[in-house]
């Protein structure tokens, strides 16, 4: 799952340091292997939550599609200053749980899973 989380981490840190506003922090990419696609962007109680689809290869080398999330305070994203990352791998860090880390000034990245039987299960 680290392969799912790291691309969004790199994108988000570059965007946060560039002084962009909270909305539109992460952009969809194309034209190369591993390009992410933004599927949802919401703001909940001052917390920006961006969900992306990330193509990756599983342990057997087969192509798969997963999801990852970035969560950061909107005021931190808009400030244009570097934000230290907290990368929570394998199990998903829910927005309510990530909020505490975001309040300490971190940007939280995590894998995102669907319900059992959904398109993005824990595997």
Q: Where are the domains of the chain?
A: 2-112
Give, as one character, the DSSP assignment of residue 18: T
Show the tokens assigned to 6. Answer: 């790291």
Q: Which residues partner with 110 through β-bridges?
A: 69, 88
Give, as one character, the DSSP assignment of residue 91: S
Spatial distance between the Cα atoms of 52 and 67, rounded to a whole number of angstroms: 5
In the block, which residue shows the tokens 């691309």?
7
Spatial distance between the Cα atoms of 79 and 83, rounded to a whole number of angstroms: 10
Greater pLDDT, 4 or 96: 96
DSSP three-state, residue 44: strand
The pLDDT, as a whole number, for residue 92 is 85
Spatial distance between the Cα atoms of 76 and 65, rounded to a whole number of angstroms: 29
Residue 109 has pLDDT above 80, yes or no: yes
Chain mean pLDDT for the chain: 82
The pLDDT, as a whole number, for residue 15 is 47
pLDDT, tens only, 13-22: 444 444 445 6
pTM (two decimals) = 0.77
Residue 108 has pLDDT above 50, yes or no: yes
Among 65, 63, 70, 53, which Cα is nearest to 12's? 70
Residue 11 has pLDDT above 80, yes or no: no
Greater pLDDT, 6 or 93: 93
Residue 51 has pLDDT above 60, yes or no: yes
Task: Answer yes or no: are the C-beta atoms of 105 and 76 closer than 8 Å.
Answer: yes
Give, as one character, the DSSP assignment of residue 10: H
The pLDDT, as a whole number, for residue 115 is 75
């Amino acid at each position: 799952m680290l392969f799912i989380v790291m691309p969004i981490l790199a994108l988000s840190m570059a965007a946060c340091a560039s002084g962009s506003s909270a909305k539109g922090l992460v952009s969809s990419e194309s034209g190369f292997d591993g390009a992410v696609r933004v599927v949802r962007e919401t703001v909940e109680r001052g917390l920006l939550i961006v969900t992306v689809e990330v193509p990756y290869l599983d342990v057997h080398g087969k192509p798969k599609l997963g999801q990852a999330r970035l969560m950061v305070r909107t005021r931190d994203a808009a400030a244009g200053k570097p934000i230290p990352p907290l990368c929570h791998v394998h199990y998903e860090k829910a927005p309510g749980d990530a909020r505490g880390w975001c309040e300490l000034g971190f940007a939280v990245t995590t894998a995102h899973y669907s319900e059992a039987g959904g398109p993005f299960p824990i595997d």
